Amino acid sequence: MLRITNLAKQFEVPGGQIKAVRDLDLTVEEGSFFVLLGPSGCGKTTLLRCVAGLEQPEDGEIYLGDQLLSSSARRLYVDPEDREVAMVFQSYAVWPHMSVFENVAFRVRASLRGHPERRAAAAGRAGAGSHPRT
């Protein structure tokens, strides 16, 4: 489960601040399918970057399962490489020579390298053999 409480992220710009995410509360149950929709500039990418650890929010908490990933009140921040999160960008940051599956699997495989127990668990969850070998 992903649980986000009171999340806020702003950016300093010439002449002021942009409040990209304001007091956001969100829960996404494990195994569910979730979509963020909204106009350009409404904070979708900023929210995803906060969950992935690419941005540090000014306020709020982010939990993934039982793991606290970010808390401004507790001054806690888990580095992106230590989160069980993968992110594929919309267009410019994907590998053009790889399929969609290979682009998504790239980060997952990197996080499993050197961890045979994680690799076995991931293969079981994914239904080993149900996807093209990459």
Amino acid found at 96: P
Which contacts qualify for 25-32: CB closer than 8 Å, 24 or more apart? 26/2, 27/1, 27/2, 27/3, 28/1, 28/2, 28/3, 29/1, 30/1, 30/65
More confident call, 103 vs 85: 85
Read off the pLDDT of each residue in 98-126 and give the average, rounded to a whole number. 70
Q: Mean pLDDT over residues 115-126, rounded? A: 62
pLDDT of residue 134: 45
40: its two tokens: 């350009």
**Residue listed under structure tokens 């982010």:** 62
pTM score, whole prediction: 0.69
Give the three-state DSSP class for 33. coil
Residue carrying structure tokens 């710009």 = 13
So where are the chain's domains? 2-78, 86-134
Fold of domain 2-78? Rossmann fold (3.40.50)
CA distances from 2 to 17, 26, 90, 93, 115 (A): 28, 8, 21, 24, 24
Given a cut of 70, is residue 77 above it in pLDDT?
Answer: yes
